[in-house]
Amino acid sequence: MERRIVGIETEYGVTFAFRGQRRLSPDEVSRFLFRKVVAWGRSSNVFLENGSRLYLDVGSHPEYATAECDNLYDLVAQDKAGEAILQGLVEHAQAQLDAEGVKGEIYLFKNNSDSAGNSYGCHENYCTERDEDLSRHEQLTIPFLITRQIFAGAGRVVTSNRGTHYSLSQRAEVIWETISSATTRSRPVINTRDEPHADPEKYRRLHVIIGDSNMSEYATFLKTGTMAVVLSMVEDKTTILRDYTLAQPMNALRDVSADLFSEHPIRLQNGRELTALELQEDLCDRAELFAQSRQLPEDQQQAVRMWRETLTQLRKDPLELYREIDWVAKYRLIEQLRARENVSLTSPKVAMIDLLYHDTSHQRGLFYRMQARGQAERMVTDDMINNATVNPPQTTRARMRGAFVKRANERNRDFTVDWVHLKLNDQLQRTLMLKDPFKSHDERFDRLLHSL
């Protein structure tokens, strides 16, 4: 599959504080946050005019799922549009709280853990060919995902039985299996619950839940683009894969996360030992050969070039990747503070940096303050992000969903929408099923839209 549908689901952390003290519970804050959403769709679970889904997840976490994208630039713009949409809700809720005399500020974080030890996710979805044989994923996809944290990790200060240390990944400590149908009881790297949101005879939806939420546009483009290429290699049965199956995948996941500079090898099932960087370099070599022999889309070709450039710099000097890689940017901020004020990793000031890096406020968030100084590599423009907040990608099924939601809202029609169905809740109960996520136009849809 050369053209591939990709989407990202992001759970956000939310809190409300006044002078450093929590004033409202996350549940109370989220109810304020979603008042406007409920007004839009009479529910806290809605599809928006840009084709995305916005809802309140278990644990009072706002969650935003991008529309279906078949282009990595669209995906990055849609992901950042989610931040902008939720930040708009924050501003609306803040005004309500101010008007009611409730002192304090709402904070919205795009990270994966809180001070109470709770974890919340960033899930990637990839449309794949229908194939029940998962052995090639064990050989290639799982080792790739476990070691890609060297460039996709968001970074985090962790206190464990190893002591307090800085880790590459925020999710490494909460993943317990490689492939499973569970999502919360024993979180796997890949979730196999069979919900394709498409023609089940042709497609599966590969649900990746190991990843961190990235602030960096570059990291988001790189992690999803390289994954798309790896999946194409797995699907191409004429491609002979080297077996990278890990001897102890969960131990390797946590060992890699703690090994900032990829100095210690992990063991493969065949007895071979490689560092995470060496495994990624070997994979990248093969991906480059694969890309040269296939007509991959230009954005995926770009991801392979970025993969090579990133690995080359990781071998030279990882700390020079602060413009591209989240864990490096945050590590640099923390080490600058420690050098300046002579504090340990357990300092509350370090914890504040660890958190505020992910603040989605452009005025307060440390990532966005870096971006404003030109210290963050961009993959999309502000105009592209603003456009993505109101318009869906034009080359996938999301185009029709977004247009339907917009027209129905304009005409004040009662409707129900999910990833596959468009339904008018009138006497005729007209329902349109869109089983092909790659299809952006359909005569049946045109007739339905014209009838509104």
Angstrom CA distances, 107 to 90, 156, 216, 405, stand at 8, 19, 19, 29
In single-letter form, the type of residue at position 16 comes to: F
Q: Is 383 a catalytic residue?
A: no
Gap between the Cα atoms of 154 and 364, Å rounded: 18
Element (H, E) at 258: helix 249-258
Element (H, E) at 288: helix 276-293
Bridge-based pairing of strands 203-208 and 122-129 is: antiparallel
Dihedral sign for Cα 198, 201, 202, 207, please. positive
Spell out the residues 6+ positions from residue 10 whose beta carbon is closer than 8 angstroms to its own.
Answer: 63, 64, 65, 79, 82, 110, 122, 213
User: For the chain, how are helix, strand and coil distributed in percent, rounded to 5?
Assistant: 45, 20, 40
Closest CA to 134 of 177, 176, 169, 173: 177
Q: First and final CA of the chain: distance in angstroms?
A: 36
The Cα diameter of the chain in Å comes to 70
- The helix/strand/coil state of 322 is coil
Q: How far is CA 351 from the centre of its chain?
A: 23
Gap between the Cα atoms of 56 and 86, Å rounded: 11
Gap between the Cα atoms of 406 and 147, Å rounded: 42
Gap between the Cα atoms of 15 and 28, Å rounded: 9
Gap between the Cα atoms of 414 and 412, Å rounded: 7
Task: Say which DSSP state 246 is in.
Answer: B
For 234-285, strand residue ranges (E) read 266-267, 273-274
Spell out the residues 6+ positions from residue 40 whose beta carbon is closer than 8 angstroms to its own.
Answer: 46, 409
Contact of 70 with 392, CB cutoff 8 Å:
no
Catalytic residue, candidates 57, 114, 282, 436: 57
Contact of 105 with 94, CB cutoff 8 Å:
yes
Contact of 413 with 426, CB cutoff 8 Å:
yes
> Tokens in use for 284?
């990248």
Q: List the strands of the sheet with 21-24, edge to edge.
A: 21-24, 13-18, 105-109
Residues with a catalytic annotation lie at 57
